[in-house]
Amino acid sequence: MRILVIRAEEGRIVEKEYVEGDLAEVAKKVAAKALEEWDPETSDFVVLRDQRDVEIPPELVNPKNFDVFREFNLRREKTEEGTQAVITVPLYTISFDNISIGDEAFIEKKIYLIVPSVIEEIDVLFEQLAADITSPQAQPEGIEEV
């Protein structure tokens, strides 16, 4: 499987690479790499396994992409705008430079996002997600870094 590994820092994509392999095994390798950079005195080290539903623009649902999408549970869902094609994509987020602001809330400074590469148009959405997660604008109001 082709895997996209994205490193985001403070709202920017600073590294992006494609690797071949098993998603979980790639996540383990990236976690080991991130562990080398982790400062246990200032940050938690968190690996999250998740999945995201991604709406597919109608122009991308074509015979060329159909088999790829089917691998990610392609289905039709009703939305306020009408019927939309949706896929579910598994992913891992590795946070190794963050600030804890509560029981389950973090300000993420640096992360790796590991996700199967579906097609280029969807890879771009995950790049934006990684940038958004680490964006200073994503920090809750009233929280100031010291």
Q: What is the pLDDT of residues 47-75, one digit of tens each?
A: 999 999 999 988 888 888 888 999 999 99
pLDDT digits (tens, 9 = 90+) for 104-142: 777 899 999 999 999 999 999 999 999 999 998 655 554
CA 79 vs CA 1, 53, 56, 83: distances in Å: 31, 13, 13, 6
| Nearest CA-CA partner of 18 in 130, 119, 125, 128 | 119
pTM: 0.86
